[in-house]
Structure 1
Amino acid sequence: MMARPSLPLHQIQAFDAAARHLSFTRAARELNVLGPAVGRQVAQLEADLGVSLFLRTKPRLTLTDEGAQLARAVAAGFEALHQGLAELRDRSGQAALVVNAAIGFTSYYLLPRMGAFQSRHPEIALQIVTRDQNPDYDPATCDLLVTFGTAGLEGMVSRRVIPERLVAVCTPAVLGGRGPLGRAELAAERLLHLSAESHFDDWQRYFEGSGVTPPSPPRHDRFHSFMVHNRAVQNGMGIGLSWRPFMDDQLESGALVLAATHECRTTRGYYCNVTPRGAGKPGAETFMTWLCEADRAPSPAADRSPRHP
């Protein structure tokens, strides 16, 4: 059998972290290495591939088209690797708890806190399944299910993880040096909308009680995917709505700013549900308790010295 060419795994890992954070410094912090090390690894990967993966812009990096293509491939590869490892653990009797959640919640809330859980409970193995990428995934085959709404799922033990706190965010360049906008001023800006059923009227919720009606968005300002919507915000296409504490890290870094000081709190939120399959597993209750209390503890950002007000 022909030998498979070796992969520059350290370089790929550094690129993956930098692509997710759009920052060499924050990627280095995640990987527990010095900041310049990530930049060097990415530069070596670019030299090997013969393409530029990032534009070294400030205050954050910008993925080139080639970088975005590689980021998608690396994310898919890591997901397949995690899936394969989880399957092997299952076969060896070390069955992992399967947690089903939306990719936005997973990326912006769950994963940044997973290190704290794994440090506290190394005996509990977890497999995270993002249903956005698995539309046919059967929730009955998972142990815990994170949902969004006004309550948990009927017939399951449920606890609220975080309440809904909507904030308007954008890049500093979109405001162009202006201070936070009032809601009347905000309505005149380019507003980016989520068209998913549970979020298509989020801007109406945000403006409720202000006497201001947001305009209907043109088709090119509507996004069905939360991740694509956030990428549009990060690329400076306009002002979008997101959730605290999802965006806290980017607000603290200065990559994004609050377009307005108003924060909309609703009766909705994210809930963790223990499915019938997970009901008999002590690790499921442990994970749910931790997840619902994780935001009360210092966040990953709070453990670092402050860099921005």
Structure 2
Amino acid sequence: MKPSRPLPLHQIAAFDAAARHRSFSVAARELNVQQPAVSRQVALLEDWVGVRLFLRTKPRLTLTPAGESLAAAIGEGMLAIRNGLDALSARKRQDVVVVNVALGFASLYLLPRMGEFQVQHPDIQVEFLTRDQNMDFDPARCDIAVVFGETGLSGRECRRIFDEELVPVCVPNFLSGGPLTLEALAQSRLLHMSNPNHASDWSRYFRGTGLTVPEPKPMDRLYSYMVLLRAIQNGTGIGLGWRHMVDDMIEAGTLVVACERVIRTKRGYHCCLMPSADHKPEARVFFDWLSQGDGC
């Protein structure tokens, strides 16, 4: 049997673009080439099939009957290819557990523990969609959402990962001696978060002590916790850390507790199963693991 000739894919692409736009110039812009290159490729394709595909009319090209037939066949083929690629992409997404989470929680709590999860479940792939200044998320784009507050998301199965425990931290050389008294802490340079969830954290920390916190300077208000943490690490001032998220740094000695008072609030981090997880067993496995909290 005589082998079939390989398809002239570059020429087919040029013809497809020109047929859709009825213009060599517009096709050239789509393909990011010069107009003569498209015209030449179409001419080569016409030689290959042995028939004319276009009438070079103005202001727009006109397809010949043969050109119309070929354009329809290519359109059907492109649609089949696109459907195949979409199916492969969807299959890949079904194999990945997508977790929507704040950047600070992902960096300070999840990532240091992911090695253990991967050892326990080497076949489960997890992808993090992080949010920081944009606190909104599309539930359709994730299988599990990690949210902060007194409760999880209404109407979804949620479990608390850990409670919020506020502890003041700084770099070791920021303190001249040991931990500060509450009175000395209140007069220190305190770094604040302007994020609505945490803008009142220092007031919450000092509540019931009879002490008030001076209004911070604009430069001491930071939106992102990761930026706040960097400012603390640079020795700029004292910031509030969350137990479970700064414990490793305290243990390593890169941060120290600035005051012994630790406040546990009614808030915490919750993991929530989203609708797309209902038919994804891998998401349930990750959910169960994450909701073990410090034991995970």
TM-score, normalised by the number of residues in structure 1? 0.65
Kindly provide the CA deviation profile for residues 201-258 of structure 1, in whole angstroms up to 9, marking residues without a partner as x.
0001101111111111110100001110000000000000010111111111111100
What is the root-mean-square deviation of aligned Cα atoms in Å?
A: 1.9
Aligned residue number for residue 254 of structure 1: 253
Q: Are the equivalent residues in 2 in contact too, given 1:172–1:256 (CA < 8 A)? A: yes
Query: What's the offset of the Cα at 1:133?
Result: 7.3
Kindly provide the CA deviation profile for residues 242-298 of structure 1, in whole angstroms up to 9, marking residues without a partner as x.
10111111111111100001101000000000011112222222111111114125x
Aligned residue number for residue 206 of structure 1: 205
Q: In structure 2, do the counterparts of structure 1 residues 152 and 125 end up closer, same or farther at CA, with 3 Å as the change threshold?
A: same
Q: In structure 2, do the counterparts of structure 1 residues 109 and 141 end up closer, same or farther at CA, with 3 Å as the change threshold?
A: same
Structure 1 residues 47-196: aligned runs within 5 Å? 91-92=91-92, 95-132=95-132, 137-176=137-176, 178-196=177-195
List gaps (5 residues or longer) in structure 2.
1-86
Query: What's the offset of the Cα at 1:132?
Result: 2.3
SS in structure 2 opposite 1:228?
A: helix
Aligned residue number for residue 273 of structure 2: 274
Work out the CA distance in 2 between the residues paired with 1:275 and 1:211.
Answer: 43
Q: Are the equivalent residues in 1 in contact too, given 2:139–2:275 (CA < 8 A)? A: no
Q: Are the equivalent residues in 1 in contact too, given 2:133–2:224 (CA < 8 A)? A: no
Q: Are the equivalent residues in 1 in contact too, given 2:162–2:293 (CA < 8 A)? A: no
Q: Are the equivalent residues in 2 in contact too, given 1:90–1:96 (CA < 8 A)? A: no
SS in structure 2 opposite 1:191?
A: coil
Aligned residue number for residue 227 of structure 2: 228
SS in structure 2 opposite 1:278?
A: helix
Q: In structure 2, do the counterparts of structure 1 residues 196 and 211 end up closer, same or farther at CA, with 3 Å as the change threshold?
A: same
Q: In structure 2, do the counterparts of structure 1 residues 93 and 196 end up closer, same or farther at CA, with 3 Å as the change threshold?
A: closer
Q: Are the equivalent residues in 1 in contact too, given 2:193–2:199 (CA < 8 A)? A: yes
Give the aligned residue type for 1:188: Q
Work out the CA distance in 1 between the residues paired with 2:256 and 2:114.
Answer: 26
TM-score, normalised by the number of residues in structure 2? 0.67
Query: What's the offset of the Cα at 1:170?
Result: 0.1
Work out the CA distance in 2 between the residues paired with 1:88 and 1:214.
Answer: 56
Moved more, 272-281 or 102-111: 272-281
